[in-house]
Amino acid sequence: MPDYTASCNVELSDLIPPTTTDSCGDILTASLYIGTFPITSEGTTAIVWSFSNAWESITMSQNIIIEDKSAPIPTNATLDDITGQCEVTASSVNAPTAQDTCVGLISATSTTIFPITTQGTTSILWTFDDGHGNTTTQTQNIIIEDTMDPQVSSQDLIVDLQGNSAVSIAAEQLNNGSFDNCGVLTLEIDTTTFTDTGTFAVTLTGTDGAGNYSDSIATVTVIDSMLSSEDVAEENIKLYPVPVAETLFISMPHDLIIEKIEIYDGVGRLVFNYKGSIDKVDLSALSSGLYLVSIGTDRGKLIQNIVVQK
pLDDT tens sequence across 219-263: 998 887 665 554 554 457 889 998 999 999 998 877 778 889 999
Residues 207 and 172 in one domain: yes
In what helix (H) or strand (E) does residue 225 lie, and over which residues does it extend?
A: helix 225-231
Tell me, yes or no, whether 54 and 80 share the same domain.
no
Question: Residue 17 pLDDT > 80, yes or no?
Answer: yes
Query: For the chain, first and last CA: distance in Å?
Result: 103
Q: What is the pLDDT of residues 69-115, one digit of tens each?
A: 899 999 999 999 999 999 999 999 999 999 999 989 999 999 999 99
d(CA 72, CA 67): 14
pLDDT band with cut points at 50, 70 and 90 for residue 201: very high
Query: Could you tell me if 14 and 44 lie in one domain?
Result: yes
Domain boundary among 177, 207, 223: 223
CATH code at position 205: 2.60.40
In this structure, is residue 151 part of a structural domain?
Answer: no
Angle at 116 between CA 133 and CA 76, to 5 degrees: 45
Identify the domain containing residue 44 by its residue range: 4-66
Judge if 216 and 277 occupy the same domain.
no
pLDDT, position 230? 47
Which is higher by pLDDT, 211 or 24?
211
Structural domain count of the chain: 4
Q: Is 152 among the domain residues? A: no
In this prediction, residues 10-29 reach a mean pLDDT of 91
Domain annotation covers residue 149: no
Residues 50 and 83 in one domain: no
Determine the average pLDDT of the residues in 18-34: 90
Residue 150 lies in a domain: no
What's the rounded Cα separation, in Å, for the pair 207 and 174? 15
Instruction: Check residue 61 and give its pLDDT.
Output: 96
Residue 219, domain member (yes or no): yes
Query: To the nearest whole number, what is the mean pLDDT of the chain?
Result: 91
**Residues 236 and 304 occupy one common structural domain:** yes
Domain assignment of residue 287, yes or no = yes
pLDDT for position 235: 53
Choose one of 35, 66, 97: the last residue of a domain.
66
